[in-house]
Amino acid sequence: MLALEWEFLEDLPGSAVWIGGAGRAKEGWMTDQTQIRRDPLVEHAVPLVAKAMFLADDANDLWEYFRDRVDAERHRIVDDAIREAIEPLEERFAIDDIARVAASMAAQHHAHTD
HEC letters along 47-71: HHHHHHHHHCCCHHHHHHHHHHHHH
pLDDT at 39: 76
**pLDDT over 90 for what percent of the chain?**
54
> Of 49-53, 89-93, 96-100, 110-114, which gets the smallest average pLDDT?
110-114
pLDDT tens by residue, 13-31: 455 544 445 444 555 555 5
* Cβ–Cβ < 8 Å for 56, 64: no
Q: What is the pTM of this model?
A: 0.57
Whether the pLDDT of residue 7 is over 50: the answer is no
CA pair distance 80, 111, nearest whole angstrom: 27
Q: Domain coordinates of the chain in residue numbers?
A: 4-113
